[in-house]
Structure 1
Amino acid sequence: MHAFSQLLDRLSLEPRRLAKEALLVRYFGETGDPDRGYALAALTGDLTFKHAKPALLRGLIGERTDPHLFALSYDFVGDLSETIALMWPGGAESGEEARVKAPALSEVVNRLESAGKTDVPRLLTAWLDSLDEDGRWALLKLVTGGLRVGVSARLAKTAVARLGDLDVSDVEEVWHGLEPPYEPLFAWVEGRAERPSSKDPAPFRPVMLAHPLDESRDPDLLPAGDFAVEWKWDGIRIQASAGHSDRGEHVRRLFSRTGEDISKAFPDLVEALDFDACLDGELLVMSGGLVRPFADLQKRLNRKTAGPKLLKDYPAAIRAYDLLFLEGEDLRPLPFRERRRRLESFVGGLAHPRIDLSPMVDADDWEAIAAARAHPHEHLDEASAEAVEGVMLKRWDAGYVSGRPKGLWYKWKQEPRLIDAVLMYAQRGHGKRSSFYSDYTFGVWRQGEAGLELVPVGKAYFGFTDEELREIDRFVRNNTVNRFGPVREVAHGPDKGLVLEVAFEGLNRSTRHKSGVAMRFPRISRLRWDKPPSEADSIVSLEALLPPMDE
């Protein structure tokens, strides 16, 4: 546990990706089994402890400290695990005593997994008493699953691959056939054993990603005729994989782009996977062949299951981009032109209402591609055009390569929409930003009963530099007019407040929001210290951007 806590501490303070990767490689190389496997599981989100919940942790610290003092400290720190780690009385001294008293990571995992609900408080209390401050923080992050140290699952797998002469795609190919603590995986990458065998009939295949198109140089360097042009749909990239096991069972799975199995949340789509193949496509909500707004898809996302009403009101569908595997044949080495031909034949043969083919864009030079990107309404029906966020360019002769290879795929998104909004509320962030007010709720003007008033239209927590973060945080602290738990209300009115230029990808109607609108991917574009709040945009400006109401 001591080595794991040191790893998390260093990762949380290290902003550079390659440096994080080096820290992980060193940890995995120096730490033995099974501890390193459980650390990998924690970093990839594959460890859960059903009885160790935040409410339990609040109860434990409430027994050791003044609840009012804890509430004030939690409000200041902004992170539950960090607050408890700092306030927990006693504990081991740092240094050698902490190392000696610290339980092994595998001991913590194994005992929590086998412990009953009434045993968990006793276990956690004993460990918190024996650990130093860093160890307590690491323990609490582990049991709550909220590591937030800037390490993605793919980065952790990349570090494992670097222990040997492997690519991260090699690790991802076998990942879903393995379980923590992944001892066969480490034995393979270190050259001590053969590649772990997997007879999974419906595995996840590592996805191929695109580079953003550089408008200032790429059109001058890339021959447009070398690329197929597709619409970039405003949905969720998914992979649909299905096949028969050795026992004849037909296994069907739906994966997110990161390899998370989301099948249980989309049983209506899983039923449609009546094939032995692997499709790459976009998850959308569709009705009558028309794409519904992204806000409708959001109602299906981040759910473990979906009830009958949700399935009926928001029917999910797949718009297919690519065919990766078909009846035992791996198609990924084939050029895209051939895969596209096979895909068209395959989808046409399915004739299933929940799976259709993403149409190609009829454009063979850069002028035509730019025009299609800017004006999809000239090529598609109104509903579909509203669901387009740009175009994709894929080399006709390119195989399907995992990761983000250079020169093969490009994405050319539409220009983001911009509004000027007024900062209304702020809340502390998490991780390295937990000491700053970095989550901002902003609003625009509308005509109320008493005259002009601000109505919240969105929330953003990125898009600004560290220097800008410090400036906004200072403004929030100096202009707080009210507090609601961890949230501060910031002075806002026609003559006082901070104007934020907000960029966003799309806009939809929403009955959940007071303003009646919901933004897609809002982010702070720049700070408008020069602009008085009275000149910020109105709700009328946003309503003009909404897609038309259904008839």
Structure 2
Amino acid sequence: MKRFAGLIDRLSFERGRNARLRILRDYFATTPDPDRGYALAALTGGLSFASAKPSLIRQLISERTDPVLFSMSYDYVGDLSETAALLWPDAGEQVGDDLSLGAVVETMAAALRPQMADLLASWLDALDETGRWALLKLVTGNFRIGISARLAHMALAQYANRDVNEIEAVWHGLTPPYLTLFAWLEGRGPRPGPQEIAPFRAPMLAQPINETELRQLHPPDFVAEWKWDGIRVQAAAGTDGDGAPIARLWSRNGEDISAAFPDLIAELAGKAHFDGSIDGELLVVHAGVVQSFNVLQQRLNRKSATSKLQLQYPAHIRAWDVLALNGDDLTALPWTERRARLETLVSRLDSSRISLSPLVAFASWDELAAARAAPAATDLGPDAAAVEGCMLKRRDSPYVSGRPRGPWFKWKRDPHLIDAVLMYAQRGHGKRSSFHSDFTFGVWRTGDDGARLLTPVGKAYFGFTDEELGQLDRFVRANTINRFGPVREVTHTADQGLVLEIAFEGLRRSPRHKSGVAMRFPRIHRIRWDKPPGEADELTTLERLLEPDGPSTT
């Protein structure tokens, strides 16, 4: 644990990307198995402990220190693991140097819930402050030290002098502590093969682009596709050793979501069965029309789906790429060849659950801009309501995992913008624990007595620069009129207050919210120092942007 604690402590203070890569490389080179594999899993989100939850940490520290002191300290520090590590009483001589990361992970994985409290307490007593912090970070899985899975894979590639795409090609078939992976990287074993019959493949992602950047590109080099307002998935299928069809549905992050979409899996393992992997967008298609994201949400984040839910919200894949087919890896082929094979495959499947994502015809960027601005004016018909922009792909681009600059771009439609009034603020966590960075905002509505009232419509905690964060924090501190625990209420009258221009992707009805509406991806677009609060938008203006509720459930 001491070596692992030193690793994440150094990474938490290091801001340079190359320096972080060097720290990771050195750790992989000098740390034995299985500790380095478990550290890699921890940093890439590959560990979870069902018997250890943040509530257990709160319980343990509350039993050993004053609960009010803990609450105040947590509010100030903003990080549960750091607060508990600092407040944990010193048990005397620290004897945790011999405690290995592998032993901790394997013991916690095997422990039952009633055992976990005593287990954690004994380890916390044996470790110093940094070790306690590292242990609690391991338990919660919330490191917040700026290490993405891609960066960890790059460090592995540099350590073994390999291409990072080689590592990502085998990554999702592996499990911690990745003994076969390190054996292969060090020349001690063969290249790991996929253990899953229908494996997940690391996806290729697009870079955002604006119109100015777009016009620096050469139109004939690119094709355009519609960007659908769904979620990215991979549909993979194959056969097991007995020849029985197998199908899997993977999320963008490699999570197996097959159980939540049995209607799609039945199709992929039945009449739409094939041997390979398709990349595309998961949507709900009802009566032949693509529904809004609001409708798709009825199927998301569920472990299973009832027959009624499947009937009301039928799942559909709009395919745009094929990664493997009949045992051949197609990712190295140019987009034009992959598209031709995808078109042939989808036409052969003849499935009502899988369709080909249509291309956008254009000869110039002006034509594409016009189509993006008004997709309903194209041949999309009613499906246009589920489009959120365009995807641009070079005709000669291979399918490369990660987000390379140049082959793929996403040009989303402009977000909705409203002017709202800042009402409440709360300090953030981690690096933002000293700043008020979580903001609740509202718009005007007319009360039953005819008076104009502000009603909260959303919260935002990003979209602003560091300089603007400082400005917002100073405004909150100077204009606080009330406090509710960690939440500050700020001045918000028609004459006094602060107007924020809020950008968001969509709006849906929500009985859980006082205003009756919920925003999708709200963020602060700019601070309207020039606008008095009384001129902010009305709730009726916002309601005009509501997405359709989707098909009737009766």
The TM-score with structure 1 as length reference comes to: 0.93
* Of 193-202 and 175-184, the range deviating more from structure 2: 193-202
Give, in angstroms, the shift of residue 549 of structure 1: 6.1
The amino acid across from 1:416 in the alignment is P
Once the two structures are superposed, residues 375-417 of structure 1 have per-residue CA deviations (whole angstroms, 9 ceiling, x without a partner) of 1110155642222111111122322222233432222222222
Mapped to 2, the partners of 1:331 and 1:325 lie a distance apart of 5
Mapped to 2, the partners of 1:472 and 1:21 lie a distance apart of 34
Mapped to 2, the partners of 1:111 and 1:549 lie a distance apart of 48
5+ residue gaps, structure 1, are none
The amino acid across from 1:452 in the alignment is R
Match of 2:37 in 1: 37
Match of 2:198 in 1: 202
CA contact (8 A) 2:464 2:526 kept: yes
Matched, 1:236 2:231: yes
SS in 2 for 1:432: helix
Match of 2:134 in 1: 138
Matched, 1:254 2:249: yes
SS in 2 for 1:163: helix
SS in 2 for 1:150: coil
Matched, 1:126 2:125: no
Mapped to 2, the partners of 1:16 and 1:298 lie a distance apart of 38
Which stretches of structure 1, 4 residues or longer, exceed 6 Å deviation after superposition? none
The amino acid across from 1:394 in the alignment is K
CA distance 1:486–1:262, shift in 2 (3 Å): farther
5+ residue gaps, structure 2, are none
Matched, 1:469 2:469: yes
Once the two structures are superposed, residues 410-437 of structure 1 have per-residue CA deviations (whole angstroms, 9 ceiling, x without a partner) of 2222222221111222233233223332
The amino acid across from 1:318 in the alignment is I
The amino acid across from 1:324 in the alignment is L
Give, in angstroms, the shift of residue 170 of structure 1: 1.4
Matched, 1:292 2:288: no
Give, in angstroms, the shift of residue 460 of structure 1: 1.5
Once the two structures are superposed, residues 204-247 of structure 1 have per-residue CA deviations (whole angstroms, 9 ceiling, x without a partner) of 12222222234224424x32122211101111111111111334
Mapped to 2, the partners of 1:469 and 1:479 lie a distance apart of 15
SS in 1 for 2:159: coil
CA distance 1:542–1:174, shift in 2 (3 Å): same
CA distance 1:150–1:308, shift in 2 (3 Å): farther
The percentage of aligned residue pairs carrying the same residue is 60
Once the two structures are superposed, residues 501-546 of structure 1 have per-residue CA deviations (whole angstroms, 9 ceiling, x without a partner) of 1112233333333323322222111122232211111122222223
RMSD: 2.3
The amino acid across from 2:30 in the alignment is E
Match of 2:26 in 1: 26
SS in 1 for 2:530: coil
Paired residue total? 546
Mapped to 2, the partners of 1:284 and 1:486 lie a distance apart of 39
Mapped to 1, the partners of 2:315 and 2:432 lie a distance apart of 36
Match of 1:446 in 2: 445
Match of 1:543 in 2: 543
SS in 1 for 2:233: strand
SS in 2 for 1:119: helix
Match of 2:84 in 1: 84
Mapped to 1, the partners of 2:426 and 2:213 lie a distance apart of 40
Mapped to 2, the partners of 1:370 and 1:49 lie a distance apart of 48
The amino acid across from 1:243 in the alignment is G
Match of 1:215 in 2: 211
CA distance 1:544–1:304, shift in 2 (3 Å): same
Match of 1:510 in 2: 510
CA contact (8 A) 2:294 2:549 kept: no
Alignment of 1:95-494 (within 5 A): 101=97, 103-220=99-216, 222-273=217-268, 274-380=273-379, 383-450=382-449, 451-494=451-494
CA distance 1:310–1:28, shift in 2 (3 Å): farther
Mapped to 1, the partners of 2:127 and 2:233 lie a distance apart of 42
Mapped to 2, the partners of 1:474 and 1:7 lie a distance apart of 35
Mapped to 1, the partners of 2:307 and 2:137 lie a distance apart of 36
CA contact (8 A) 2:295 2:549 kept: no
The amino acid across from 1:479 in the alignment is N
Once the two structures are superposed, residues 489-509 of structure 1 have per-residue CA deviations (whole angstroms, 9 ceiling, x without a partner) of 333221222221111223333
SS in 2 for 1:272: helix
Mapped to 1, the partners of 2:16 and 2:524 lie a distance apart of 22
The amino acid across from 1:480 in the alignment is T
* Of 166-175 and 366-375, the range deviating more from structure 2: 166-175
Mapped to 2, the partners of 1:328 and 1:223 lie a distance apart of 35
Mapped to 2, the partners of 1:312 and 1:325 lie a distance apart of 31
The amino acid across from 1:511 in the alignment is P
Mapped to 1, the partners of 2:261 and 2:548 lie a distance apart of 28
CA distance 1:441–1:14, shift in 2 (3 Å): farther
The amino acid across from 1:223 in the alignment is H
CA distance 1:303–1:42, shift in 2 (3 Å): farther
The amino acid across from 1:261 in the alignment is D
Give, in angstroms, the shift of residue 182 of structure 1: 0.6
